[in-house]
Structure 1
Amino acid sequence: MLDSIGFLNEVMGRHPEAISFAPGAPHPVFLDDLDTHHFTDRFLDHLVEGGLSRRQARRLLVEYGPSRGIINELVSHALRRDQGIAATSASVVITVGAQEAMLLVLRALFRSASGQVLAVANPSFVGITGAAHLLDIPLLPVSERDDGIDVDALEAACRTARRSGRHIRACYVAADFSNPGGGRMSLECRHRLLEVAEREDFLVLEDNAYGFTADAGDELPSLKALDGGGRVVHIGTFAKVCFPGARVGYVVADQQVENGSRLLADELAALKTMVTVNTSPLSQAVIGGMLVEHGGSLRELSRQKAQLYRRNLDQLTTALDSHLPDVGAAGIHWNRPEGGFFVRLHLPVPADDDLLEKSAAKYGVLWTPMAPFYLDGGGDRQLRLSCSYLDPDQIDTGMRRFAAFLQKEIIR
């Protein structure tokens, strides 16, 4: 994957005029006029209203902070209010992005990795697979469909692992609009996954980076909201709903450990002191101020962004339909996610580096090969299109170029 990212960046550097459907980054329009000082002041006011002096509040932002975080109560309140997740502030750890959350959770759960396996939806986000590789944790890919992870295959994998003396300790999924596949787990699949997790005794690591993009009235409960048995560790990020440069994420880990004397969150906080000590209090203050500004609601905070991303996704799928009609007979088809940043497209030929180079050099359009996201050698005839970073006119122009590329290089 690192080689693939390096090659993609190299191609982008050599063809700066190309329209890129590669970055899964937030739209820059939300970053142009971001007033971090204003939101920091809002959070300081919040602390003062909570009983701190102005001097105490300011010192909290510039000194070493608690490893667990300083915006935990705001985050737990927002999760309870907007997503029905019964998270206490003690069960929340504020992390340096979702990436640190993943690393800490894996380190805590796989202290003795002998015989223990991490199952991952396949294709999978490279952040989780990369963290597992760093910690020498064996990975087991389980196919992901448009309606979520293949629960039957996961259950069969649990039985197979047991027969070989291994145990699936945890399973990573992104229930809502996964990266890179764009799949969304159905409500039935969510319930079945939790049932299998209880029966087979493993934890579910839920990555909730894109759930906020669901259309109003079309939201599905998160796995953590459905979790009655303490099986779900919920991981979130403020990169998309606020801004990525803050590097602030969080994890809800309310599982009891050490015979009920501690929470898993306590272990994560202890581990964090040896990794990053604490998440930047200044960064947390900006995020906290943004939450305060929007009434403590993640939904209100992300409403405008969600509308833009749904608009872009609709623009992308509409442009695909318009510029590429009747291409199914040529072996070209794509999924139709209802949210998120990504569309996955299937080709009749390998979507490799050579094809990407030709697409950029001759047609001025870039995309991401899917093969590096697969753990079992699959995905070599798939590519990912991201719409989050572009404007509607760029999407339409890019799709015209992309359609010309497919028509002349593949369909012909």
Structure 2
Amino acid sequence: MSLEAISGVLLRAADLHGSVTDPGMESMNFLNEVVGRFPDAISFAPGRPYEGFFETSQVFDYLKAYTEYLANDLGYTESQVRTNIFQYGRTNGHIHGLIARTVLNDEGIEVDPQAVVVTVGCQEGMLLTLRALFAGPDDVLLVSSPCYVGITGTATVLDIPIHPVPEGPHGVDPAAVAAAAAEVRATGKRPRAMYLVPDFANPSGSSMPVSAREELLRVAEQEDLLLLEDNPYGFFLREGNPRPTLKALDRGKRVIYLGSFAKTGFPGARVGYVLADQPVESADGTVGLLSDSLSKIKSMTTVNTAALSQAAIGGMLIQADCRLRDANTQAIAFYRNNLQTVLDQLEHHFPPEVRTPLGISWNAPEGGFFLVVNVPFPANDAALNRAARDYGVLWTPMNYFHHDAEGDYQLRLSCSALDPDTIVEGMTRLASFIKDTIQS
């Protein structure tokens, strides 16, 4: 739009919050724009669930199950059921008891239902938690690097400084966390909390061994750090056995657990939660829970999480007997096969005698939705555009997730949204793109 065509007030980007012009905030918009421009391209970009699992009728079944639960199990009158579904409701949510039962069954996490905050997706949980914990400009958030853009973007919006902690092939090294905390303190600031995804991280797919999790809890105690554990992918193993979450191992209430039903249920509900059972002492000496503090902030942001969405997720939990791991048996097998198919196709198109001269390599995550391919050319927006336009395949540049140049020659592949046959075709297109780009 030209300035000549504008009438009325003209706002200057320089007068808006810095997050509006931050290049890091543009990555997902660019990706969405590319997807829209090339709708026929096979996309390994989104970490969204496979739509073949969803039936429209399920939502109505969930709502029915939830209203029957309110009436039969909780003894609600017809009027109380109606109010629960149609009105604003409790700020911290009304399915907190069901969530507490579910995390106990699935993860062995024991938490008071009053410590559960039901949020508008996990993203709101991040915002509430960061806003509550970070009191001033000297409080710094440590993040794994590479890191999910949702948390770094939220920190940018809230003017919270971040300090990256390099991630290795087995996730975050506790010694690196301790070193990062020392570096922050050396500048006169306070390392307040560390955000990480211990199981099959987005974007790298890395997963922390149990011994490293236990050591990280010791480091958190030593450095007076809170740990923000995000766990959307923990169910989806390709090999091995489930590992205990940091929250399940935590005995000092150092871990604030960020959960979501986007991958284990359906993202359209936009329901997540925070397990915030840390005690908070008020000025008058009374002690409450961190969940109460989050409630105050939530009441001034989203007021409460949509009652209808909570009812749908609540009904899903009831139908699953609050055992989502068992309910996701089909999805676990599907995503395991998808990830293995991607790995098999990489091996097929780039056997050792081919990939070594070309300078191609990749990791082999033990589960989750993502893996990373290393390439000898810049895997940037221009390359993504060319892959979509000329080869009909999409992926995500890893530089979106880094705060240095480490990801400039890497691309992220997500295996979750496609069926196996489409993955095979998509990997053929991707292999052609990579080989042609290297040889051009």
Please indicate the TM-score interval, normalised by the length of the shorter structure: over 0.9
Q: In structure 2, which of residues 124, 134, 139 is the aligned counterpart of residue 100 of structure 1?
A: 124
Kept in 2, the 8 Å contact 1:178–1:340? The answer is yes
In 1: Cα distance, 2:357 partner to 2:223 partner: 42
Kept in 1, the 8 Å contact 2:339–2:369? The answer is yes
Q: In structure 2, which of residues 423, 429, 440 is the aligned counterpart of residue 395 of structure 1?
A: 423
1:273 is aligned to: 299
- Shift in Å, 1:156: 1.1
Kept in 1, the 8 Å contact 2:278–2:289? The answer is yes
2:384 is aligned to: 356
Q: In structure 1, which of residues 178, 181, 186 is the aligned counterpart of residue 209 of structure 2?
A: 186
1:54 is aligned to: 78
- Shift in Å, 1:307: 1.7
Q: 3-state DSSP class of the match of 1:384?
A: strand
In 1: Cα distance, 2:104 partner to 2:28 partner: 37
Structure 2 length normalisation: TM-score?
A: 0.91
2:12 is aligned to: none
1:293 is aligned to: 319
Q: 3-state DSSP class of the match of 2:327?
A: helix
Sequence identity, in percent?
Answer: 48
Kept in 1, the 8 Å contact 2:276–2:289? The answer is yes
Structure 2's unaligned 5+ residue stretches are: 1-23
Kept in 2, the 8 Å contact 1:323–1:400? The answer is yes
Is 248-257 or 159-168 further displaced after alignment? 159-168
In 2: Cα distance, 1:51 partner to 1:32 partner: 30
In 1: Cα distance, 2:94 partner to 2:348 partner: 49
2:159 is aligned to: 136
Matched residues, number = 411
2:111 is aligned to: 87
Classify 1:59/1:216 alpha carbon distance in 2 versus 1 (closer, same or farther; 3 Å): farther
Q: 3-state DSSP class of the match of 2:235?
A: helix
Deviations 1:181-211 (A, max 9, x none): 1111111110111110000001000001111
State how 1:120-199 maps to structure 2 within 5 Å: 120-199=143-222
Where in structure 1 do 4 or more consecutive aligned residues deviate above 6 Å? none
State how 1:18-33 maps to structure 2 within 5 Å: 18-33=41-56
Deviations 1:303-358 (A, max 9, x none): 22222111111111111111111203322111101111111111111101221122
- Shift in Å, 1:264: 0.5
In 2: Cα distance, 1:5 partner to 1:47 partner: 40
Q: CA RMSD in A?
A: 1.4
Pairing 1:344–2:344 present? no
Kept in 2, the 8 Å contact 1:119–1:171? The answer is yes
- Shift in Å, 1:34: 4.4
In 1: Cα distance, 2:35 partner to 2:292 partner: 43
- Shift in Å, 1:77: 0.7
Q: 3-state DSSP class of the match of 1:211?
A: coil
Kept in 1, the 8 Å contact 2:43–2:395? The answer is yes
Structure 1's unaligned 5+ residue stretches are: none
- Shift in Å, 1:96: 0.3
In 1: Cα distance, 2:277 partner to 2:329 partner: 28
Kept in 1, the 8 Å contact 2:246–2:255? The answer is yes
Pairing 1:74–2:98 present? yes
Q: 3-state DSSP class of the match of 1:176?
A: coil
- Shift in Å, 1:55: 2.6
Classify 1:187/1:34 alpha carbon distance in 2 versus 1 (closer, same or farther; 3 Å): farther
In 2: Cα distance, 1:336 partner to 1:216 partner: 11
- Shift in Å, 1:216: 8.1
1:302 is aligned to: 328
In 1: Cα distance, 2:32 partner to 2:406 partner: 23
Structure 1 length normalisation: TM-score?
A: 0.97
Kept in 2, the 8 Å contact 1:291–1:301? The answer is no
Output the amino acid matched with 1:399. M
In 2: Cα distance, 1:215 partner to 1:293 partner: 26
Deviations 1:226-263 (A, max 9, x none): 00111000000001111111000000011011156111
Kept in 2, the 8 Å contact 1:141–1:376? The answer is no
Q: In structure 2, which of residues 309, 317, 320 is the aligned counterpart of residue 283 of structure 1?
A: 309
